Structure 1
């Protein structure tokens, strides 16, 4: 398990397949409300207990993309960290996340394309022992600057 790089982000040349970072986050009412405001997604399954109680989930659940955003937080702040730019993301949702749940977002480097300065990251989110979301992110990573050519 790695920590944040002292500079704020790892450059391409510092990354190796298998590097893993994680972040624990508790899903709160305030986070769900803030996410609804930021995304303009006020689906009542997320914000209305009376409505959500009548669904197959028998109560409110967090936005799936809120759970995915915790993986994004790992990518943007730890691995690779500052300077990483998302190019693509796949997501698979397996179980609902509820208010009060503590989730663990885990990101692992699975492939490195040195020519294109891109990495593929496995993104998993767990609630306890249960996998609630997984997918892969492709991100562009800063590389070491090449020395200027002499004249």
Structure 2
């Protein structure tokens, strides 16, 4: 779906929440193959059983990628992702855990060099099926203005 929004249209406090998505063994195996990260924490069930966490852990980068993908429901031709700040893997995600994403607009600021654009900051919080936070980050969007800033 295409939704046209300019910098001026975004409101601090606006939130959206995704549906849930269960992380599977196939997700972990595919991500390991794509990234080359075959550490035993992700791949070796028997080794994990000897560790404090007792079971395989999804890659943090997998949880991040899946979670951000879960928020990608619209296309705004006036905005683009500028990147992510303050990314933290707060708790492990295991095979069979279901994650949900909440995204909230927390900040609007001027672009330091271009008066035709501004930055929107969206706080991302990914939680598991128990409501525990597993990942947080700030998503930065570069968004075109309707009118140049003074």
Q: Which TM bucket (shorter chain)?
A: 0.7 to 0.9
List gaps (5 residues or longer) in structure 2: 112-116
Q: How many residues align?
A: 140
**SS at structure 1 position matched to 2:38:** coil
Q: Is it true that 1:41 corresponds to 2:37 in the alignment?
A: yes
2:9 maps to 14
Are positions 1:103 and 2:105 aligned together?
no
Query: Are residue 133 (structure 1) and residue 125 (structure 2) matched?
Result: no
* Aligned match of 2:114: none
SS in 2 for 1:70: helix
Task: Note the alpha carbon deviations across 1:22-61, whole angstroms, 9 max, x for none.
Answer: 2221101111112112222111111110121122211101
Aligned partners of 2:4, 2:48: CA distance in 1, in Å? 40
TM-score when scaled to structure 2? 0.78
Describe the SS at the equivalent of 2:122.
strand
Q: Which residue of 2 aligns with 1:85?
A: 81
**Contact in 1 for aligned 2:89/2:134 (Cα 8 Å):** yes
Query: Unaligned regions of 5+ residues in structure 1, if any?
Result: 1-5, 147-151
| 2:64 alignment partner in structure 1 | 68
RMSD between aligned alpha carbons?
Answer: 2.5
Contact 1:87–1:140 (Cα < 8 Å) also in 2: no
Contact 1:118 1:140 in 2 (8 A): yes
